[in-house]
Structure 1
């Protein structure tokens, strides 16, 4: 595979990306927490875009994948800024496909630049997870350690190494919450969610569905699917969902 290209954000971060020119709206994949643009969902959509002649953009947030920076230095606002800078690479309207944390970033982009967003697909979207899944789950000792030491270690189902959660991640995330204030989504929205997701349970998707306002917002629950949402059936559903949304945008 060829080397990624890079852009420098207004904040000075060097962001790796891969842009495939093609018919618009351009599909943009936004990955999750500690993931990168070479994951199975991004690769599947890349192959689909090349096959169908569709514009497609994927990128790594700072501290992720091939981009510059240390992961522990980052926070939701930084990764939102990275995403906003990456979107400048793609002309015209955009169809955002956000996985897990990428779903939250997609919602922040939708609030910041609704005029550019033609549609949004959330895959196990995790809005406000720093507050609702991390801080809320910490016991008194963990909260004290976070405030005292600036970080706390959490076991991970996806790595032998624990996740290090920083105080800045939690505190900066509080300025980016989207489920505590109005969330207008004036374009087609499709939320895909597995019922066996232990990281972002279906209740989160139901809360987002209830909270957001818009004339075309739908939630699809897939029985037995986990947070990765990367089985062949799940990948096919993502592709079909994107294809159907684009067909309605002609």
Structure 2
């Protein structure tokens, strides 16, 4: 059953929680995705069979949560995730971050490492507003974004375009993780497909090289795309979560 959390910022966050033993697992979805995705549902079922606590949720402007997507930014979604983690879970949790959720999970790990038991990322996209969107815009697109405050990009994942706002870019710069120390003092498993057209393999290598910790491993999967949702990929995700939990 979907429940709702009212955050200190006045946003209403939809979530679904499965009771079980700890450390629990918290799934953090991607940019413009929701908690009904294949990976979230697969992991929920896996956790239930393990008797382990599991939580999935929608950031504001996503899924069943309040707000409009194009009014949101990384700082808002980080605050949503922080409220979810501190209010709806007890003790250290294993964070599973997909795409943008990988960035959000790294922000959580930096801000409250005592609440993180381990980290699994799937095509993690840290700093993507800067090294992805802004770096990829030509002078005309940048001028339009700065002048009009928004830019519409076609999406491969649905008929609606991605609306990129000036606020998204500027707020993203306040939450970058790749330009400063990133200690991850717990087990970390990074998963990345080599056929991912949204997150380059180099980003995964850069994250592996940049983060510090005693137990950080990167798995590259040949020909896997950004969705990372084939049966084999899903099994790799649950295997990685199981490793971290153990």
User: Structure 1 length normalisation: TM-score?
Assistant: 0.97
- Number of aligned positions between the proteins: 245
Unaligned runs of 5+ residues in structure 2 are none
- Shift of residue 246 of structure 1? 1.1
Report the TM-score, using the length of structure 2 for normalisation: 0.99
Q: Who is 2:70 aligned against? A: 72
Whole-angstrom CA distance in 2 between matches of 1:144 and 1:159: 26
- Aligned residue for 1:120, secondary structure, equals strand
Is the aligned partner of 1:154 residue 2:150? no
5 Å-filtered alignment, 1:54-65, equals: 54-65=52-63
Deviations 1:5-35 (A, max 9, x none): 0000010100000111101001000000000
> In structure 1, how many angstroms separate the alpha carbons of the residues matched to 2:43 and 2:91?
19
1:67-104 per-residue CA deviation (whole Å, 9 max, x = no partner) reads 00000110000000000000120111100000000000
1:204 maps to: 203
Distance in 1 (CA, whole Å) between partners of 2:20 and 2:29 is: 21
Hey, what does 2:8 align to over in structure 1?
10
Q: Distance in 1 between the 2:119 and 2:243 partners?
A: 12
CA distance in 1, matches of 2:67, 2:232: 35
Match for residue 23 of structure 2?
Answer: 25
Q: In 1, Cα distance between the equivalents of 2:32 and 2:206?
A: 24
* Cα drift, residue 153 of structure 1: 1.0
Q: Quote the residue 2:236 is aligned against.
A: 237
| Mapped partners of 1:244, 1:211: distance in 2 | 22
What is the Cα-based RMSD across aligned positions, in Å?
0.6
Matched with 2:130 is 131
Q: Which residue of 2 aligns with 1:163?
A: 162
Q: Which runs of 4+ in 1 moved over 2 A?
A: none
